[in-house]
Amino acid sequence: MIRSRHLSAIGLTVMLTVSGLHAGEIVAEQDTQYASIQVVKLLDGLQHPWGLTFLPDGRKLITERTGGMSIIDEGEKIAVDNLPDLDVYPEDAYTEGGLLDVAVHPDYQNNGWIYFSRSRLADGEDQDTVPVLLRARLDGTSLTDIEEIFVSNAPNYPGRHYGGRIAFLDDGTLLMSIGDRGSYPPRAQKTWDHSGSIVRLHDDGSVPEDNPFLDQERTEPELFSIGHRNIQGLVQIGSSGEIWSTEHGPRGGDELNLIEAGRNYGWPVATLGRAYLSEGEFPDSETRHQEGMVDPKLEFMGTMAPSGLTAITGETFPNWEGNLLAGALAGQRIWRLVIEDQTVVHSEELLLHEIGRIRVVQQGPDGYIYVLTDHETDGGLYRIEPK
Amino acid sequence: MIRSRHLSAIGLTVMLTVSGLHAGEIVAEQDTQYASIQVVKLLDGLQHPWGLTFLPDGRKLITERTGGMSIIDEGEKIAVDNLPDLDVYPEDAYTEGGLLDVAVHPDYQNNGWIYFSRSRLADGEDQDTVPVLLRARLDGTSLTDIEEIFVSNAPNYPGRHYGGRIAFLDDGTLLMSIGDRGSYPPRAQKTWDHSGSIVRLHDDGSVPEDNPFLDQERTEPELFSIGHRNIQGLVQIGSSGEIWSTEHGPRGGDELNLIEAGRNYGWPVATLGRAYLSEGEFPDSETRHQEGMVDPKLEFMGTMAPSGLTAITGETFPNWEGNLLAGALAGQRIWRLVIEDQTVVHSEELLLHEIGRIRVVQQGPDGYIYVLTDHETDGGLYRIEPK
């Protein structure tokens, strides 16, 4: 049973602060199969919020794709200064480009590193763009020690399918998804092209010497897996060490994948998606399965456009231990996915059409689940709590 | 893009006729992937409508589980008289029992037979019920020549999981689904018990001599397939002859199956569903796959409670040729399923939360798709048309 509490016009006015906050307004409740939950709106008015991470002191960092980086401190939103202007081609910033993910280093307490991905104009180009990864430290509310530690080698126009999701692994390295850039001829199968891949880096951007494609010729050393279209959800489950991702397919074909080093996930040779009637984007080959290429663990039904993926642990949602939560932009819902023996054995639809297009779902260190919803001018930050 | 046109209070009043009709009100529109559709409300105020069939002269017959049988003639609803009173245990009629499906004989024009399924008190019992199949003819608006041609051999209380869906095959026989009755110990694996099966009959209720279990001992001769929980959607695709069904799983585990003679579909030994925390209904064994038992062709994501299944053909929806449409009660949507080589290769979500709980989806001889929505007092009959 899903119940929404729509804000009355009067209630809305009273609860708005100067900065546009609703202080703890419950906007949705749901008695799910194994947990009764409520959703608290923490922030609205965000411009395409895209990334979320947690500082050890309880503050959060969020990115807005077209609106910069902010510190969220007890519900107050404070702009982060000194974000590098990377000359994003303007049109780009309003489709899929701009500031993307943000993540703190697992050892942030000691080294203070913050990582963020974004698109920028490629060197020497005036419209082709590339996804890049940077790190920096926070000095108060300003970025300092800014370093660009990875630049994709495949500039492209138009600016779409950047990937950009960042995930730290338990071995201290990090992954970043690189979208296939939606270009033709397709690039995701090419190992001399970062597009359509996951790359794996040391925290300073150098290449781990056990990266899986290193001993192959004409191969970019950063590659960890290839054959991806546009991964927007990426997480390692702490207990198992398994790496899971969600990937946008074409029409249909949205995937949940178990990511293993050196594997080829098939795009665009093998896909469960269908051709768009009106577009020429589709693969040269439309095989659903191909030997030597990894099938997804789940093909989402319908058109979900999955974004944001988190693995639940701890006592706040005890019956969801080990479950994955996958957000959906077009699908406007969160899927709870139960994994056993690397197989999805159950799924439950959460908050269907309750709070909008889900860009990020992420469990915080406090055990609550935080959600960013995508909107041009009124994206939101929400907290899912037990009721 | 889904858009609803909600009836204004004034419009509603004007368009209501004495019998509760809305004359051709468009209540929803959707630009789907391969067709732009609109939904016209034809009838409302129905009491748990359950079955729908089409007479050759363009009239329709509908059943209401708790409200009898009616002829729909140009939007006028005319009660069918002389429906046999089968002493349904009252409480039963308000959970899952009562009048169920209705279907006309493929050669109705010559023989006039109408088939309908329902629950009734078992012979000599005062609370145990059974699903039964009857046939009758129409004399004006009255039933005549009423014959009960099949009685399930497994009375049970409480009255749930009746199955009841009827499908005529191209060989002139008919199928009827029999639910597992939700009883313990479970019955769907027992071949001496009709519960949890599909039965196949000649049009007079006699047993076809090629029924698949006939040569086995201690087996009911009507059985066509076993190991079902509660099939609520059942259709043969005309072009391929394939028989497809949708089946309610327990928590999760809603299935689409390709039905073949003599096969065991696993319930409750093998299921993709999960145990309810609070109930003892669940199977003795919780295997997801079992040798000798047929896996579903699709496990629906989430909790759909699928009901109603139709195979689209003809020129009204040319891009949906050969697709299955599966309704969902709990899921309140219709799934368009693309089948290739007996495999579901694509799915699209239609009319999500637009018109309510879907009990029946059925393409009419006129090429339009008719839908019954389930509600205690305000179920509706809708027509889906190209926009």
Kindly give the confidence (pLDDT) of every residue in chain B, 387 residues in length, as a single tens digit, with 9 standing for 90 and above. Answer: 333 333 333 333 333 333 444 558 999 999 999 999 999 999 999 999 999 999 999 999 999 998 899 999 988 999 999 999 877 777 777 789 999 999 999 999 999 999 999 999 999 988 899 999 999 999 999 999 999 999 999 898 878 899 999 999 999 999 999 999 988 888 999 999 999 999 999 999 999 999 999 988 889 999 999 999 999 999 999 999 999 999 999 888 899 999 999 999 999 888 888 766 444 444 445 688 899 999 999 999 999 999 999 999 999 999 999 999 999 999 999 999 999 999 999 999 999 999 999 999 999 999 999 999 999 999 999 999 999
Closest chain B residue to the Cα of A349, Cα to Cα: B302
Round to whole Å and give the CA distance between A63 and A7.
Answer: 26
Q: Considering A22, A48, A105, A161, which one is annotated as catalytic? A: A161
| Sheet with A231-236: strands ordered across | A231-236, A243-247, A255-259, A298-299
Position A331 scores a pLDDT of: 98
Question: What letter would DSSP give residue B385?
Answer: E
Contact B43, B21 (CB under 8 A): yes
By CB atoms closer than 10 A (0-12, 13-18, 19+), residue B125 is middle
- Is the C-alpha dihedral spanning A163, A166, A171, A172 positive or negative? positive
| Beta-carbon count within 10 A of A319 CB | 11
Interface check for B330 against chain A (CB to CB < 8 A): the answer is: no
Contact A189, A220 (CB under 8 A): no
Fill in the amino acid letter for A54: F
Contact B175, B166 (CB under 8 A): yes
Round to whole Å and give the CA distance between B37 and A29.
Answer: 32
| Chain A from 22 to 51: CB within 8 A of any B CB | 33-34
| Percent of chain A at pLDDT exceeding 70 | 91
pLDDT band at A236 (very low <50, low <70, confident <90, very high): very high
**Closest approach of B344 to chain A, Cα-based (Å):** 10
CB contact under 8 A, B301 and A277: no
pLDDT band at A20 (very low <50, low <70, confident <90, very high): very low
Does A114 score more than 90 pLDDT?
yes
At A192, is the secondary structure helix, strand, or coil? Answer: coil
Closest chain B residue to the Cα of A346, Cα to Cα: B252
Instruction: Select from B33, B288, B302 the Cβ nearest to the Cβ of A348.
Output: B302
Does A204 score more than 70 pLDDT?
yes
Position B100 scores a pLDDT of: 97
Round to whole Å and give the CA distance between B246 and B232.
Answer: 6
pLDDT band at A300 (very low <50, low <70, confident <90, very high): very high
Position B88 scores a pLDDT of: 76
Strand partners, A177: A198
The long-range contacts involving A352-355, CB below 8 angstroms and separated by at least 24 positions, are: A352/A2, A352/B353, A353/B352, A353/B353, A354/A2, A354/A4, A354/A27, A354/A28, A354/A30, A354/A39, A355/A27, A355/A28, A355/A39, A355/A41, A355/A380, A355/A382
Is pLDDT larger for residue B182 or for residue A301? A301
> Which chain B residues have a beta carbon less than 8 Å from that of A272?
345-346
Interface check for B302 against chain A (CB to CB < 8 A): the answer is: yes
**Closest approach of A273 to chain B, Cα-based (Å):** 7
By CB atoms closer than 10 A (0-12, 13-18, 19+), residue A254 is buried
For chain A, helix, strand, coil in percent to 5 are 5, 45, 50
Closest CA to A5 of A46, A32, A38, A35: A38
Q: Which sequence positions of B are flagged as catalytic? A: 161
Instruction: Select from A252, A347, A353 the Cβ nearest to the Cβ of B301.
Output: A347
Q: Which two tokens stand for residue B2?
A: 């889904």
Helices (runs of H) and strands (runs of E) counted in chain A:
3, 26
CA A164 to chain centre: 7
Q: Where are the beta strands (DSSP E) in A267-342?
A: 298-299, 306-311, 324-328, 333-340
Position B13 scores a pLDDT of: 31
∠ CA B150-B154-B160, rounded to 5°? 95
Closest chain A residue to the Cα of B300, Cα to Cα: A301
Round to whole Å and give the CA distance between A42 and B291.
Answer: 51
By CB atoms closer than 10 A (0-12, 13-18, 19+), residue B4 is middle
Is pLDDT larger for residue A253 or for residue B315? B315
In Å, what is the CA distance from B315 to each residue of B59, B186, B367? 21, 45, 7
| Percent of chain A at pLDDT exceeding 90 | 78
Position B23 scores a pLDDT of: 57
Position A184 scores a pLDDT of: 80
> Which chain B residues have a beta carbon less than 8 Å from that of A338?
274
Contact A332, A357 (CB under 8 A): yes
Round to whole Å and give the CA distance between A92 and B208.
Answer: 67
pLDDT band at A245 (very low <50, low <70, confident <90, very high): very high
Backbone angles phi, psi at B261, to 5 degrees: -60, 135
Does A241 score more than 60 pLDDT?
yes
**Max CA pair span of chain B:** 66
- DSSP string across B252-264: S--EEEEE-TT-B
Position B351 scores a pLDDT of: 98
| Beta-carbon count within 10 A of B11 CB | 13
Interface check for A349 against chain B (CB to CB < 8 A): the answer is: yes
* Residue environment code for B272-295, b if the CB has 16+ CB neighbours within 10 A, otherwise e: bbbeeeeeeebbeeeebeeeebbb
Interface check for B252 against chain A (CB to CB < 8 A): the answer is: yes
In angstroms, what is the C-alpha Rg of chain B? 20
CA B173 to chain centre: 18
CB contact under 8 A, B274 and A345: yes
In Å, what is the CA distance from A209 to each residue of A213, A214, A221, A223, A263? 10, 8, 9, 12, 17
Q: Which two tokens stand for residue B157?
A: 């209380």
Position B266 scores a pLDDT of: 94
Fill in the amino acid letter for A117: S
Does A21 score more than 50 pLDDT?
no
Position A23 scores a pLDDT of: 58
Round to whole Å and give the CA distance between B253 and B227.
Answer: 14
CB contact under 8 A, B303 and A277: no
Q: Is the pTM of this model over 0.95?
A: no
Q: Over range A92-119, report the average pLDDT.
A: 94
Q: Which two tokens stand for residue A98?
A: 């701009």
Closest CA to A22 of A6, A4, A41, A8: A41
* A386 preceded by a cis bond (ω within 30 of 0): no
Q: Which two tokens stand for residue B144?
A: 């005549």
> Which chain A residues have a beta carbon less than 8 Å from that of B345?
272, 274, 288
Interface check for A10 against chain B (CB to CB < 8 A): the answer is: no
At B211, is the secondary structure helix, strand, or coil? Answer: coil
Instruction: Select from A252, A346, A352 the Cβ nearest to the Cβ of B252.
Output: A346
